[in-house]
Amino acid sequence: MESNALQTDRLLAKPKKKKIPFLSRWESPVAGYLFLSPWLIGFFLLTLGPILMSLYYSFTDYSLLDAPHWLGAQNYKHIVMEDDTFRESIKVTLLFVVFSVPLKLVTALLVAMLLNKKIRGISFYRTMIYFPSLIGTSIAVSILWKNIFSKDGFINQALALVGIQGKSWIADPDTALGTLVLLIAWQFGSAMIIFLAGLKQIPTDLYEASSVDGASKVRQFFTITLPMLSPIILFNFVQSTINSFQMFTQAFIITNGGPVNSTYVYVMYLYERAFSKFQMGYASALAWILLVIIAAVTALIFATSKYWVYYETQGGKGK
């Protein structure tokens, strides 16, 4: 009986597949690196290489025409201690970040909540609202925005219909930066899509249970929606902050840093030093200072997130 059982098991057992010599070589880790090699080559040659070179140039006097001359920390010392334009551009950039990021996030969240409805044609509305973000950083949109807020632009034409005499909003130091803030807030599509995905992940049972307990829509928003969306808010907050610190195209095309340097953001100053005055060493130092500033602000955001970001898997706020 035992021999018959063994014979039966042998007959039912699946034959082992023989490894094909040609294919077996792809099972080694070398194959993975081979497929990654285009990205790795691009990273080391086109990303990491320029980063390290800019770090070296930041300690030199380099003008693209002559060989770099080692200066040590003189570029950094001059920027921090003596460069008034650096301090003014930092001030303008911080004002821009402080006003543009919250406005963009609030607008994105409100629109996402409006689009989180089961109505006919909602996919079309989502596409149309997201579309401006695809072209928002283009030069064409910046030129259009400049025309809208000019003396004879659409805004003043609309105000004239109700008897209000408008002004050139981009030529006034008090309002020029505000026009750029509105442009960034108008480009809320990416953040809106992420918020919309987060809203769809919130269990409807939470809203139903709170409704039974008599919670209003406003109370549900502050006690359910915001806490459950807090990780998404953190992500969009960090992304928007980093992008706002690097804003350049809009300020360069619409106002060119004016009037009276009221929109002279940090990256415009970096650009002028690098490509107008050809002070590549000085510009490299400005770039690394910007990196440190962004890293410090991002670290501060993450450090404070433990007080307001709720992670459901941890049973409470971030730890």
SS (H, E, C) 102-128: HHHHHHHHHHHHHHCCCCCCHHHHHHH
Higher pLDDT, 152 or 89: 89
Across 53-58, average pLDDT:
94
Q: Residue 58: is its pLDDT beyond 90? A: yes
DSSP string, 257-301: T-STTTT--HHHHHHIIIIIS--HHHHHHHHHHHHHHHHHHHHHH
Q: Residue 8: is its pLDDT beyond 80? A: no
Give residue 189's pLDDT. 85
Confidence bin at 315 (pLDDT 50/70/90): low
Across 80-98, average pLDDT:
95
Where is mean pLDDT largest: 56-60, 202-206, 313-317?
A: 56-60
Across 205-215, average pLDDT:
88
Return the minimum-mean-pLDDT range out of 33-42, 62-71, 126-135. 126-135
What per-residue string of b and e applies to 159-172 under the rule 16 or more CB within 10 Å gives b?
eeeeeeebeebbeb
Confidence bin at 187 (pLDDT 50/70/90): confident
Return the minimum-mean-pLDDT range out of 30-34, 178-182, 245-249, 262-266. 30-34
Q: Residue 26: is its pLDDT beyond 80? A: no
Mean pLDDT, all residues of the chain: 86
Q: Which two tokens stand for residue 83?
A: 């460069």
**Model pLDDT for residues 231-258, shown as the tens digit of each residue:** 999 999 999 999 999 999 889 999 999 8
Contacts of 316 (CB under 8 A, 6+ apart): 310
Across 306-314, average pLDDT:
81
Q: How far apart are CA 305 and CA 315, in angstroms?
A: 15
Q: Residue 21: is its pLDDT beyond 60? A: no
Give residue 126's pLDDT. 82
